[in-house]
Structure 1
Amino acid sequence: MAMAVVCTGILSGLGGTVLSLLLHMIQHVAYGYGQAGGPHNFLQGVSAAPRWRRIVALSVAGVVAGVGWWALGRFGRPLVSIAAAVGKTGLGRPMPPLSTLIHLLLQIVTVALGSPLGREVAPRELGAVLATGTGRMLDLVADDRRILIACGAGAGLSAVYNVPLGGALFILEVLLGTIGQRAVLCAVAASAIGAFVPWAVLGNVHQYETGPMAVTAPVVLWAICAGPVIGTGAHVARRLMGIVQNRAAKGVSRIGWCLVVFPLLGVLTCFYPQLPGNGRGPMQLALSARLGMELAAILLVLKVVVIMGALRAGAAGGLLTPSLTMGALLSTVLAGAWNMVLPAVDAGSVALLGGIAFLGTFMSMPLTAVALGIEFTHLGHDMWIPVFVTSAGALLAFRVCARMGGRMAAQTQPSAPGSMSARS
């Protein structure tokens, strides 16, 4: 098992490195940046690219997404999610290697071309597939193979974002749902190795740059008041995303949807270059307090719309960075309103608080979200207090909204035959 964990961490790290390099290469080719003296990040590259190039890149993304996923569904083996492969109580169904590889490559290509979904699912799936092969080769028992598959997925996440703690918590909190000693040891080891391996090529860097963040009374008060609002917003967003995912296009209709949704996103990109991609660009702007209240509100609405459009069209991808960005944009809007009437708070600081809280509630992984936020930014220890306060308030509001929604749904369901209301 120790050998399997080490091998899984190394393979997941190498896989994450290759996928990251592929993503950056396609971005540079599609939007024509990366040369000496020119733009060096995706948002700058999109902003500097001529409008026709933005539309062409998103139109190509639509063709790749529509035709690619239609062909995969038509000729490939049925896909198996990581959660289904891990299983709840025992080893789940195996992930088909070739179909999964094509599926994750389609995600990387479309996100690089400007799909508004996240890139983090692809390295997780690759790590899980590699771990499945490792466990089978070493003839591990079912329980150990289950742990190993989860470790492969977490190590893949750790590799692309350089988040060893976040990757380990993702394994334990989201995939395994346990803090057993054996699972913890494997998760920590695999995630650490997965994060370390890409350093030789990608460097030991963190995702976002932030200015000095100080814990002040207004910031703590904002955290207390804004947490429930952010949790409610996360609940609404999750309901909307669930609706469109349940109605996602399938078969040949997926091609038509993608050929409409992605070119329209390209047109929107001509006016708002912050929209394409997983949201890292606008997230950095929010953390730097370079978004006004009005622009943040517009981007928030458009970001939700384009994500829903991509999901409805049948495109695949993650929602980790997109949900982090939605929370940051919502917090920027709340901060703008707050600063009009109450003691001012730093917009960049509260954008991070809201982004972490939104991510944790939206994806039902509050501990993992806190760890990711800290590792994404190398956040100072003192700021952990408002982070926890905001996340707790958001989680509480999210659960209250979910419970109320469940009660309302139960009340609106028709009575079963033979019940008191039916007899009356």
Structure 2
Amino acid sequence: MPSSADSSLTRANMRFAAAIVLTGIVAGIVGWVCIHLLHLVEYLAWGVTSGTLLEAVTASSPIHRVTVLALAGLIAALSWTLFFRKNRTIVSVSEAVHGRRMPVLRTLWHAITQIIIVGLGASIGREVAPREVSAALGAWISDTLGLDSRDRRIIVACGAGAGLAAVYSIPLSGAVYTLEILLVTLNARTVAPALTICAIAVLVTTGWERPAAFYTVPSVSATLSLTVWALICGPLIGWAGLQFRRIVHSFENARPRSSHLLWTLPLALTAVGVISIWVPSVLGNGQASAQTQFDAAWLGGLGLRVALVTLLAKAVTTLVTIRSGGWGGTLTPSVALGAGLGAVTGMLWSLMWPGTSLAAFVFIGAAVFLGSSMKAPFTGLILVIEFTHQGAELLVPACVAIGGAVAATAWAQRSATSDT
């Protein structure tokens, strides 16, 4: 007969298995709701029924753009002012992974506000909302099933990764994000749940068929020119990603959490609306800005100017949104900024050494910058591969660039530590 210890272990493993399945299903539902809520807001605000947000924004009048962004600022200000009125704090996913309680209703409130303002055009990412809600519900499932602290930590982290996977239909990226950033552990007890939960979540959200690529990218191939560029520019773009991360963290810590939000957010997002009169691609989570960089080669002599203006405008609008009190993600904005750096440096490089598709520079720039800004090089590369449905042909120069970026950012961090 089995011992009581064996029976107890079996029951614990059965509860863990149940938590894996339930968390995957719940994260998939969360992703589906976030996608459709975003589309509903975009339809109401911009009339998006088919096509892209950028096409709808471009077709709208300047007054409409400014008005909608001012409305976004007012909604965000009122929501977060009420949220923080009684010294309520926002529990991050990383804090929840380490055991801090993540109230489900407050997390829903916070997440819905993020989705609404992104749909209205705020220059911030939408990926934090499904991660937070899925993590909170994963914690609730773990507590309901009576999981121990180790298994609870795994389920909460996997729930967050699955929320990311579901909203973009990127199962492998969600699993790698979970393992590289949240759990920082590779063993059977973490790898199996991460892959399984993300797969279930994507299946629930989008079914068996994979949706179209998040970014439309022409066929790309590696060249000697691209590889040399990657060797030189990879560390520079990686260093830029690290600096962006530092600025974002500084602005996140300094953003207001009081009634000051009632003027900072409406003012900031109105300014974003004004900028969109000339650079409409700054609106939204960053997809439009990154796609503009992939398309810059088709603009001929104007390509470099468009790429540079789009890069600077997206950086300014994203940072202003965060500093004024906005909450949201920086994943897709980081892709846009990295794509911009890849486009600008790639165009200049091609003047000296032609023969490489601009999209290849943009792809690698996005992967390097994203990986450096997240301190997760594998996640950055896999994300851009799944976003574009491209990348196998560019793995050699991409790895050269990312390796150089990792070395450069490690050196920069050590230098900063020694200086202090």
Could you tell me which residue of structure 2 aligns to residue 241 of structure 1?
Answer: 248
Could you tell me which residue of structure 1 aligns to residue 369 of structure 2?
Answer: 358
Could you tell me which residue of structure 1 aligns to residue 328 of structure 2?
Answer: 317
Structure 1 pair 204–259 and aligned structure 2 pair: CA distance change class (3 A): closer
Select between 309-318 and 132-141 the one with higher mean Cα deviation: 132-141
Mapped to 2, the partners of 1:6 and 1:391 lie a distance apart of 35
Secondary structure of the residue aligned to 2:282 is coil
Secondary structure of the residue aligned to 1:198 is helix
The Cα shift of 1:69 comes to 0.6
Could you tell me which residue of structure 2 aligns to residue 331 of structure 1?
Answer: 342
Select between 176-185 and 280-289 the one with higher mean Cα deviation: 280-289
AA at the equivalent of 1:208: Y
Could you tell me which residue of structure 2 aligns to residue 199 of structure 1?
Answer: 206
Structure 1 pair 41–271 and aligned structure 2 pair: CA distance change class (3 A): same
Could you tell me which residue of structure 1 aligns to residue 357 of structure 2?
Answer: 346
Query: 1:50-199, aligned counterparts within 5 Å?
Result: 50-75=61-86, 77-87=88-98, 92-199=99-206
Could you tell me which residue of structure 2 aligns to residue 422 of structure 1?
Answer: none
CA contact (8 A) 1:162 1:205 kept: no
The Cα shift of 1:236 comes to 2.4
Structure 1 pair 52–202 and aligned structure 2 pair: CA distance change class (3 A): farther
CA contact (8 A) 2:135 2:156 kept: yes
Could you tell me which residue of structure 1 aligns to residue 381 of structure 2?
Answer: 370
AA at the equivalent of 2:67: V
AA at the equivalent of 1:312: R
The Cα shift of 1:405 comes to 2.4
Could you tell me which residue of structure 1 aligns to residue 59 of structure 2?
Answer: 48
Could you tell me which residue of structure 2 aligns to residue 282 of structure 1?
Answer: 289
Could you tell me which residue of structure 2 aligns to residue 268 of structure 1?
Answer: 275
Select between 170-179 and 237-246 the one with higher mean Cα deviation: 237-246
CA contact (8 A) 1:129 1:149 kept: yes
Q: Which runs of 5+ in 2 are unaligned?
A: 1-15
Matched, 1:28 2:35: no
AA at the equivalent of 1:341: M
Mapped to 1, the partners of 2:234 and 2:259 lie a distance apart of 43
Secondary structure of the residue aligned to 1:252 is coil
Mapped to 1, the partners of 2:269 and 2:39 lie a distance apart of 20
Matched, 1:11 2:22: no
AA at the equivalent of 2:179: L
Identity %: 36
Q: TM-score, with normalisation over the residues of structure 1?
A: 0.91
The Cα shift of 1:380 comes to 4.3
Could you tell me which residue of structure 1 aligns to residue 416 of structure 2?
Answer: 405
CA contact (8 A) 1:76 1:99 kept: no
Secondary structure of the residue aligned to 1:373 is helix
CA contact (8 A) 1:17 1:202 kept: no
The Cα shift of 1:307 comes to 1.1
1:198-249 deviation per Cα after TM superposition (whole angstroms, max 9, x unaligned): 1249953331221111111111111111101101211222232222222111
Could you tell me which residue of structure 2 aligns to residue 414 of structure 1?
Answer: none
Mapped to 1, the partners of 2:394 and 2:407 lie a distance apart of 20
1:148-184 deviation per Cα after TM superposition (whole angstroms, max 9, x unaligned): 1111101111101111111011111111110021111
AA at the equivalent of 1:262: L
Mapped to 1, the partners of 2:391 and 2:357 lie a distance apart of 15
CA contact (8 A) 1:84 1:93 kept: yes
AA at the equivalent of 1:398: T
AA at the equivalent of 1:161: Y
CA RMSD of aligned residues (A): 1.6
Could you tell me which residue of structure 1 aligns to residue 257 of structure 2?
Answer: 250
Mapped to 2, the partners of 1:205 and 1:179 lie a distance apart of 31
Q: TM-score, with normalisation over the residues of structure 2?
A: 0.92
AA at the equivalent of 2:216: E
Could you tell me which residue of structure 1 aligns to residue 313 of structure 2?
Answer: 302
AA at the equivalent of 1:74: R
CA contact (8 A) 1:17 1:201 kept: no
Select between 182-191 and 128-137 the one with higher mean Cα deviation: 128-137
1:63-109 deviation per Cα after TM superposition (whole angstroms, max 9, x unaligned): 0111111110114742211101111xxxx111011111100000000
Mapped to 2, the partners of 1:207 and 1:33 lie a distance apart of 17
Mapped to 2, the partners of 1:263 and 1:43 lie a distance apart of 18
Q: Which runs of 5+ in 1 are unaligned?
A: 411-424
CA contact (8 A) 2:281 2:292 kept: no
AA at the equivalent of 2:416: G
Could you tell me which residue of structure 2 aligns to residue 421 of structure 1?
Answer: none
Secondary structure of the residue aligned to 2:305 is helix
Mapped to 2, the partners of 1:351 and 1:245 lie a distance apart of 28
1:226-285 deviation per Cα after TM superposition (whole angstroms, max 9, x unaligned): 101101211222232222222111201112101210111111111110111111012122
Could you tell me which residue of structure 2 aligns to residue 417 of structure 1?
Answer: none
Could you tell me which residue of structure 2 aligns to residue 391 of structure 1?
Answer: 402
User: What is the aligned counterpart of 2:237 among 230, 236, 249?
Assistant: 230
Mapped to 2, the partners of 1:235 and 1:169 lie a distance apart of 20
